[in-house]
């Protein structure tokens, strides 16, 4: 049997062992992120980071955890990063990383040593005092379950090849831990209930919310460090709906459903969505439960979800 040496030596061995143990403890996703960040930061130093769980079918964010030393720097710029990821062309997008054989890279690598070619680097990193960025996708069973982005200060060196290789190693552990956490959450889901409706303004503020929507929002695990009034998945769905019709007035209202049976027992993906285009209205996001959403610019009824994306 061939055993690959840890690319970071003894400190990498210790950090990987700690993260692997955490992934077997049955922790909720955001708690897993919070605790795994400690050994990761010891092995691969960074100034700020963002951890996300994603719906494995749509790759939309379903929860968020931000670490920036409680300075509020990343939380204050959250909308700019979300818009860059969902609405703007750029390098190192998560959906593209998810298709790679090794789903971890740096902005310097992806721009061939010219990070200034990236809009994210020019308009976000520089204005916030950040520089090098490493991104990764957590996969298990060929399916994506979460993302990570870690950033260093503007005068610090890029992440080394050894650090990239190390993050790729722990990404496999975290993919497994996330999959198990999200499957447990799905299996423990409450019975199907009527959907709720949330009306958002153009700035993402809540214009109105039904009592049923309040009930469903209480079922979401709280995000950490985002400062958002609503769970990040609601905003991600609303932004994806707007992006589906560029140049159109706001007015999609995607409806997200949690599966009635545990995800592990379904042939199809973890949810369905239907949407209507209503030009001239505010954004409407209906959330029937945490965990999945797929805006559809066409009107759809009762269509089964697609299978989760799989990668080679």
The helix-helix angle for 29-43 and 9-23 (nearest 10°) equals: 170
How far, in Å, are 138, 144, 308 from residue 141 at the CA level?
10, 8, 10
Identify the pLDDT of residue 234. Answer: 81
Identify the pLDDT of residue 150. Answer: 97
pLDDT tens for each residue of 165-191? 999 999 999 999 999 998 887 766 655
* Residue spans in the chain of domains classed CATH 3.30.450.40: 9-186
Identify the pLDDT of residue 86. Answer: 85
SS3 call for 206: strand
pTM exceeds 0.75: no
- Alpha carbon distance 234, 284 (integer Å): 10
CA neighbor of 51 nearest in space, from 226, 284, 292: 226
How much is the average pLDDT of 107-112? 97
DSSP 224: B
- Alpha carbon distance 190, 185 (integer Å): 10
CATH domain 9-186 topology: Beta-Lactamase (3.30.450)
């Amino acid at each position: 049997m061939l055993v690959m040496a840890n690319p970071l030596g003894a400190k990498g061995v210790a950090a990987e062992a700690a993260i692997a143990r955490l992934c077997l403890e049955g922790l909720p996703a955001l708690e897993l992120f919070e605790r795994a960040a400690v050994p990761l930061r010891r092995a691969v130093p960074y100034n700020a980071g963002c951890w996300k769980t994603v719906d494995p079918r749509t790759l939309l964010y379903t929860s968020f955890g931000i670490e920036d030393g409680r300075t509020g720097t990343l939380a204050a710029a959250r909308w700019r990063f979300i818009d860059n990821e969902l609405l703007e062309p750029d390098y190192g997008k998560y959906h593209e990383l998810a298709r790679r054989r090794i789903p971890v890279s740096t902005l310097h690598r992806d721009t061939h040593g010219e990070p200034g070619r990236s809009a994210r680097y020019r308009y976000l990193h520089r204005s916030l005092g950040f520089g090098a960025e490493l991104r990764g996708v957590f996969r298990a069973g060929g399916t994506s379950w979460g993302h990570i982005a870690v950033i260093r200060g503007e005068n610090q060196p890029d992440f080394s090849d050894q650090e990239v290789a190390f993050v790729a190693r722990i990404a496999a552990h975290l993919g497994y831990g996330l999959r198990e956490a999200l499957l447990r959450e799905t299996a423990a889901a409450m019975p199907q209930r009527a959907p709720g409706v949330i009306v958002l303004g153009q700035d993402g503020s809540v214009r109105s919310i039904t009592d049923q929507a309040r009930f469903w929002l209480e079922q979401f695990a709280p995000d950490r460090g985002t400062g958002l009034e609503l769970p990040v998945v609601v905003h991600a769905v609303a932004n994806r709906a707007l992006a589906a019709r560029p140049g159109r007035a706001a007015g999609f209202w995607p409806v997200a459903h949690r599966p009635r049976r545990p995800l592990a027992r379904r042939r199809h993906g973890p949810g369905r969505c239907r949407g209507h285009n209503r030009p001239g209205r505010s954004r409407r996001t209906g959330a029937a439960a945490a965990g999945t959403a797929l805006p559809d610019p066409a009107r759809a009824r009762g269509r089964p979800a697609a299978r989760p994306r799989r990668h080679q």
